Structure formats: C-alpha cells, structure tokens
Amino acid sequence: MEPKSLLKTLVVSVLFFSTYLTQAQITGLVLDYDTNDPLIGAIVRSGKKHTTTDLDGTFQIDAQVGDSIEIKYLGYQTYLSTIKDKHLRIVLSPKSEMLDEISVVALSAEEAEEKRIKSSITPVTVITAKELITKAGNLNEILARQAGIQIRQTGGLGSSARINIRGLEGKRVQIFIDGNPLNTPDGSLGINDLPLQVIERIEVYKGSVPAWLGGDGLGSAVNIVIRHRDVSYIDVNLVRQSYNTSRAGLIVKKSFDKKGIEAGVGVFNTYSDNDYTMAIPDQENLNVVRDHDKFHSLLIGGGITFNKLWFDEIEFEGAYMSTRKEIQGITQNIQHAENKGETIVGVMNLKKTGLLDDRLSLRYTLIRGKINVEFIDTSSYSYNWDGTRTPSIFGKGELGSGPNLSNTEQDELRHRLNLYYTLGETSSLNLNNTMRKSDFNPMDDVANEFAGKNLFNYPGSLFNTVSSLTFERESKLKNFLFSAAVKHYYNHTEGYNTNIYIQDAPEYINTNTHNWGYVAGLRYNINEFLLAKAVHERAVRLPNNAELFGDGVLITPSIKLQPEEAYNYTVGLVYDRILKNYNRIQAEVNGFYMDVDNLIQLAGNGLSIGYVNYAKAFIVGADFELKTDITPWLYSGLNVTYQRVVDNNQFIPGTKEVENPTYNEDIPNIPQVFTNLNVELHKENLLLKKSKSRLMYDLSFTQEYDYGFALSVYDKFIIPSFLTHTISIEQSFQKDRYTVTFEANNITDQMVINNYNQPLAGRTFRLKLRCLLLGKRTQNHHHDH
C-alpha cells in the first residue's frame, strides 16, 4: 500500500459502526383483494412493534421507510415486505388465490433500500450485502464488475489501485464512508483493506454526486455504507487463497436492550506474500517470481453506542491499524525498501430526529486521527534479477536518487454536520457541511544528510470546508422528484516553496480558494415500472497539498493551481418489474456527457516537474445494466460500458493559438469498452434442511486501450484486452450460520494488466469459511441519509 493511502484505509477502518436513524409514524390501509373491503383486526408487525387494523382497515405503527412489515389475517396470504412509503395501501389475497402482479410482492429490506436509492435523481449502482457478504474476493474485484467502473490495480494485495468511473479516476472520484469524505492526497483506493463483512452496501454515483455527500470531486463517487446489525452477534471470517494470502476477521457485538447500549469489537488480519510470477518489461523472456511484495495489515476497532439518551444515538468508536508493505520492483530488483504505517483514530457520531415538531433531523460526525507513515530505503546494495548484488548505485538506497528513512506524522481533524428539514409532506431541505484540518510533519534526516541540506523536513497544513444546501420536492403521487443544490468549497493550504535546486531558506507560502458548484435534476416515474432521470452538475475538485507543494525534491510547488472543474449532464432510464413467481427484471441505461477543464497533471521543463492545470476534455458514453431473476433458482446480470475521453484543447496551453497536435483525439490510458456477466444458480435445502447452495459464474471483459495517444500505425503502447472467467461455489448451513465458499478466479490464467507495465496475478484460488451467530432481534435500525 502506498504510504499516502494509509489515511484512507485508516479512516475507513474506524467508521464501520455508523448508521443513520429516522423513526417515524407509518400509516396504512389493509383491503381485501377481491372486494376492496377494509380488513378489520389484521395484525401488523414491524420489528418489535405491532398493532391491529381499526374498523376502517387503517393502522398506525412506529416504523420507518425501509423497515420490514408483516400483515397477517386469518384466511389470507400473509403479507411480508419492506415499507416503501409512509402511507401504505395493502391488498391481501385469500389463501386460495396466488399472489399476482399487484403491489404485494415482497422485497427484502436491502432490495427495498436499493430501489429507494435508485429512485434518486442520480444514476447509481447499488451493491447490496447479498452480493458482497459471501464473496471470497475483495472489494476491488467486486467494484470492478459493476457497470461504468474499472479498478486500475498496480499489483497484488496491498498495492495501490485507482477507481475509474466514467473515464475519470484517482483523486477525481470521491470515496465516502457513511457519507464522510476520505479525500486523501493520492487518490489511490485504500478501501480495499475494508473487510467485506462490515459493509451493508456500496452506492456508486455516476456522473453526479448528491450534494449531501460533502467533499470535492468531478462528478462520481463511491459511498460505502457500513453494516449496523441491531442484534448481538458473532461473525467470524477466514479466507485462505493463492500466493500465501490469508485473511481473518472477527466481529463480536453485544446489545443491552434495556439500557439501550450496544458495544462491539472487531479484529481483522490480512497477510499476503503476493508471490506470483510476472514478466519483466523490456527484458526479453525474463519471468520472475515476485519475492519482495509481502503485505500485512492488522486492524482492531471497537465502539459503543447509546440509544436511550437525548440523542437517538451517540456512538464512540476507536481503531488502531498497522500496515507493512514491501515494495516490489518491476523495472529493477528491489529487495529491502518498504512502507510501514500506524494509525489511531477516534470517531464520535451523534444522531437526533424529531426536532422542531418532527421536522428536523441531525447527524454529526467528529473524527480525530493520528497517522504515522514510514518509508524505509537504506539498502547499501542494488540487486540484479539473478540475485547478485553490487554496492548501491546511489551510495545508499534502492529507489529514487538516494536513501530515505522518512517518518511522516499527520494529524487529522474532521467533521460532518448534516441537517435534514422537512418542509411539509413533499419538500425538504438538507444542509451538509464537512470540514477537514490536516497537519503534515515529514522528517527524513537520513535523506537530508545525503543531500547535504534540509530537503524534506518541511511541515504543511490544510484546512477546507465543503458546504451544500439541497432542496427536494416530490409530487404527492411520488411520481415526480425535483432536486437542486448549491455547494461552496473553501480551501486553505500552507507549506514551503522548496525543491532540490533552491539554495536559500525556502519561503513559507499559503493559498486560499473559494469555489461554487451546483447540482440540479429530476426523476419522473413514467409508469409503475419505468422511471426516467436527468441531472446536471457543476463539480469542482480542489488541488491537494501534494499538488500544491510538490515533494520537496524534484516535484516543485505549484501554488497557482486552480481547481479542476466539470460540467456534467446525465440522463437515465431505470426499469424494475416483478412478475409472477418472483421473477424480477431490473434494467438501467444511462448516457452522459461531461465537459472537464483545468485538469491537473504533471509537466516539466526537462530538469524538474510540477503539477499544472493543463488538459481540457469532454467525456461521452453510456452504460447498460440488466439483472434478471430468470427463475426462482437462476439469476443473471449483465452490464456493458462504453466511454470516450476526448482532448478538447484546440490550442496548446500557454501559446498564442498554436494548434494542439492531439485535439479531438481520444485521451489515452482510459478503458473504453468493458462488460461483465454473471450467472448464479441457487437452491435451498439441496444438501440439508436450512441450507443454501449457490454456484456463480463471472465473466469480465475489457477491450484493449492505448497507453499513449493513438497517432501512428506503429503504436505499440497498448494495454491488452482481457477476458476472465471466475467460478464460485458457496454452501451455507443452518440459515446462513455457517458458509463455505470456494472460488477459482481467472480460471484460464489470462494475463491481466490494467496499468501499463504493472502485471497482475493470474489464476487465484480462494477458500472462505464464515460463521455468523445472530442473537435475538430486538429493534430495527435503518441506514439512510
């Protein structure tokens, strides 16, 4: 793992108990299917709460949208579903009749939540716990199989990876945990270290990001919602896989219902040798086994929640994480350089609903973290691929231009305040504010001594806030939703104007920027099954400290950097229909156009380099997704994505209208066409009673794409296409208490590269054992924003 991605990982690690609670009154009417007469005395249950219908068939119950609801009436089919609306109209059929194409078809709670999220104005892919929990793979692999998403991995477990959504990647895509922005400096995807067993669902917003997710970015985001079981439970996960990789996770949680207290701890350990074979670029017929790529991470977290104080929920969490990652050389044999990191994070979450006549809900998160990252590169030797060694070509150290023994301390203070105010039955306001204050203190006396001057020991800091106000109005029939938001970004940074060639004491400099953004969109339900949505956004990504202040050595400061900006336009259609026998069809198609400007990239003058606002591009594309429950035992999913990122600089920046030689050419190093298919056979009670068996097949295909602009008939820098097949067999017993999963990933051992000259592992086998012991259910929590 890259040192800078530690922050992300570690913030991620402590947020896994967060939730959002809104309790409200649900009202409803229960009718006979044939006669439409009210059914009197039907038993209505939601969680612990229960009631019966009145003389007019109506009821009121303390529950909320997303909770489960069960309605029983003698001689009628039992209705079991999830609450989708505050006002319900439920039709029960006599037992002699089959449930048919009426609204009384049960969705699980998570399916209902997925449907609710998908009915927002923004195109969003929702990966539910059902798709996550039993997988033997990791989060990156699961994300990479979604429409519109690519994960650009650089190596084995623990190596950095960038998420690419709609052609934009790295820092341009925002990552959130329960709505809290991670905005770490380097844009690599540290969330892969997040254990799957703590995830409730993943929301991938494409082309536009709801304003209630604070933070900056250019229009796509991943929000990971952490699972919050409201029962006592023990969850044990053990994974063993190729390349001497093992993962173990344990969560223990206890609920003290009378006192309204929940307490839990989690321990997660991951280890890998990553010792797969790779071909060395530019060396004909040289294949080596990666022997310096070991990765180890340990995460210990705990939290306590109080549910019966003035706040609906007060939660305190803490976590410790340590990581160690050796650095695998690809263009040279590295044998000693490595990264280490340690982090301690504390989190406080407050939630309160029912304020101001039940109109105002509040959620507040405060995060304090200390991160310590070490980079160790002091070898006295350089190594050849045949194992022979010579004195270090730099005198000391294997990477860069000399030794490093750096220790960077980072202090983080963040908060998020979210206020939700209801304006009558159909309108609402949402105010969101995130703040981040970071202090960086790098120390590298060894490198300074080698350089003969202080190059590295220069502190820096940043302070930023992102505030948004969203107005939403939904028609009374709920078939039309309008949403509009404004966002304000403030960024203040401080640091030193330093680089290798500056002789005098470096100047202390600071920057201040204010920017505005907005989002506006609508959703219209064309009929019961089909909805259309359209959204427009002006998005902003602020330059970060690494871009503004360089690395103290060859990357020089760029204090005049402007934020990147994007104007995004997206339209989409979502189809969701449940037919007889629980046959469900879900389809989604989205088209998008994005006009991006001031993109920040590295440039140089032949001697040193630095970040500049340079590229201007438009992105056009479409994605399509189809999910079908073909039969009660056969499920299939398919998605296809096409996207082009096109150079839109007509003239070379910094010139007097000199034609840009790559104007209107596709910007390279971005996948253009990719598709995923999965088929799942599942059967209950096949082996034993209360058992479930699943057989899953996944196909992934990415078309080859250029690493440089495609300008010559002899172009050779191409990232080759790949087609992989993965088969998984899963068997659970005793209502999912015990689960065994076996997975053969990339069974044809296809060479997969999604970064130039960064070979990835081939065929991988995995075995996963899971034990989930749930206590008695007490109450429902709902995870919503």
Partner 1 sequence: MITRKMNKTIQSLFILAVFAAGFTACNKDEDDAPISDENHHIAIVTNINSSSPATGYIGTIKDLTVGSYDVSNARQSTVTPFLVLDGDDVYAIPNQRGDLLIKYRRNNGVLDEVGSLSLPTGSTSMSLVVENEERAYVSLRTTGKIAIINPTTMTITDYIDLSSYAIGDASPDPTNMILRDGKLYVTCQQTSDGFSSTHPAEVLIIDLNNGNSITSITDSRTTYAGSADDMHAMFFDEKGDLYLFCVASYGFVPGQKCGFLRIKNGENQFDPDYFFNVADYSINDIPGNKIDYLQHVLYHENGTLFGAGNIYSLASNPPDYVNDRTVGSFKVDIYNQSITKLDLPFCNGYSASLTKYNDNILWGLSTETGVGIYTYDLNTGETSDAPVITTQGDPSVIEIFE
Count how many Cα atoms sit within 13 Å of the Cα of residue 416 in the half-sphere of its side chain: 26
Among 27, 78, 277, 331, binds partner 1 (CB under 8 A): 331
- Tokens representing 573? 């259609």
Least Å distance, CB 597 to partner 1, is 14
Q: How far apart are CA 152 and CA 498, in angstroms?
A: 32
Look up tokens 């130039």; give the residue: 756
User: Which segment (28-36, 263-271, 422-430, 626-634) binds partner 1 by CB under 8 A?
Assistant: 626-634
Least Å distance, CB 377 to partner 1, is 12
Nearer to partner 1, 49 or 389 (CB): 389
Among 615, 619, 760, 761, binds partner 1 (CB under 8 A): 615
Nearer to partner 1, 424 or 654 (CB): 654
- Judged by CB under 8 A, the number of residues near partner 1 is 98
The closest of 174, 121, 125 to 571, measured between CA atoms, is 121
Nearer to partner 1, 429 or 626 (CB): 626
Among 126, 129, 280, 594, binds partner 1 (CB under 8 A): 280
Write out the DSSP string of 76-145.
Answer: BPPEEEE--SSEEEEEEPBTTSPP-SSS-----HHHHHHHHHHTSSS-EEEEEHHHHTT-SS-HHHHHHT
**CA 413, 417, 423: angle at the middle one, nearest 5?**
170
Write out the binding residues for partner 1, residues 164-193 only, by CB under 8 A: none
| 626 binds partner 1 per the rule CB under 8 A | yes
Least Å distance, CB 602 to partner 1, is 6
Write out the binding residues for partner 1, residues 284-303 only, by CB under 8 A: 284, 286
Q: How far apart are CA 359 and CA 336, in angstroms?
A: 59
Look up tokens 């997988």; give the residue: 135
Least Å distance, CB 250 to partner 1, is 40
Nearer to partner 1, 252 or 279 (CB): 279
Write out the binding residues for partner 1, residues 652-671 only, by CB under 8 A: 652-656, 658-662, 667-669
Among 355, 423, 526, 630, binds partner 1 (CB under 8 A): 630
Q: How far apart are CA 496 and CA 511, in angstroms?
A: 11
User: Which segment (92-100, 355-363, 481-489, 600-608) binds partner 1 by CB under 8 A?
Assistant: 600-608
SS (H, E, C) 535-595: EEEEEEECCCHHHHHCCCCCEECCCCCCCEEEEEEEEEEEEEEECHHHCEEEEEEEEEEEE
- Tokens representing 762? 């081939």
Least Å distance, CB 325 to partner 1, is 21
Any residues with CB less than 8 A from the CB of 156 and at least 6 apart, and which?
A: 243, 272, 274, 276, 290, 293, 295, 328, 760, 761
| 607 binds partner 1 per the rule CB under 8 A | yes
Q: How far apart are CA 47 and CA 763, in angstroms?
A: 45
Cα dihedral across residues 154, 157, 159, 160: positive or negative: positive
Among 709, 733, 742, 765, binds partner 1 (CB under 8 A): 709
Least Å distance, CB 135 to partner 1, is 22
Cα dihedral across residues 227, 228, 231, 237: positive or negative: positive
Nearer to partner 1, 139 or 612 (CB): 612
Q: How many residues are present in the chain?
A: 785
Kindly compute the dihedral angle of the four CA atoms of residues 34, 37, 41, 45, in this order, to the nearest 10 degrees: 60
Write out the binding residues for partner 1, residues 419-478 only, by CB under 8 A: 450-453
Nearer to partner 1, 358 or 715 (CB): 715
Q: How far apart are CA 709 and CA 426, in angstroms?
A: 50
Q: How far apart are CA 234 and CA 305, in angstroms?
A: 17
Write out the binding residues for partner 1, residues 492-511 only, by CB under 8 A: 497, 499-501, 503
Least Å distance, CB 583 to partner 1, is 6
Nearer to partner 1, 497 or 779 (CB): 497
| 650 binds partner 1 per the rule CB under 8 A | no
How do 261-272 and 609-631 pair as beta strands? Answer: unpaired
User: Which segment (129-137, 226-234, 366-374, 630-638) binds partner 1 by CB under 8 A?
Assistant: 630-638
| 752 binds partner 1 per the rule CB under 8 A | no
Nearer to partner 1, 94 or 632 (CB): 632
User: Which segment (137-145, 187-195, 369-377, 613-621) binds partner 1 by CB under 8 A?
Assistant: 613-621
User: Which segment (44-52, 125-133, 283-291, 343-351) binds partner 1 by CB under 8 A?
Assistant: 283-291
Say if CB 631 and CB 583 are below 8 A apart: yes
Site string for partner 1, 48-87 (x = CB under 8 A): ----------------------------------------
Q: How far apart are CA 71 and CA 73, in angstroms?
A: 7
Nearer to partner 1, 575 or 614 (CB): 614
**Cross-strand pairs, 467:** 433, 488
Nearer to partner 1, 494 or 647 (CB): 647
Least Å distance, CB 744 to partner 1, is 20
Write out the binding residues for partner 1, residues 500-559 only, by CB under 8 A: 500-501, 503, 550, 553-554, 556-559
Kindly report the number of other CB atoms within 10 A of residue 506's CB atom. Answer: 17
Any residues with CB less than 8 A from the CB of 739 and at least 6 apart, and which?
A: 134, 730, 731, 732, 733, 768, 769, 770, 771, 772
Among 19, 270, 333, 339, binds partner 1 (CB under 8 A): 333
Nearer to partner 1, 426 or 454 (CB): 454
Least Å distance, CB 182 to partner 1, is 23
Site string for partner 1, 372-411 (x = CB under 8 A): ----------x-xx----xxxxxxx---xxx---------
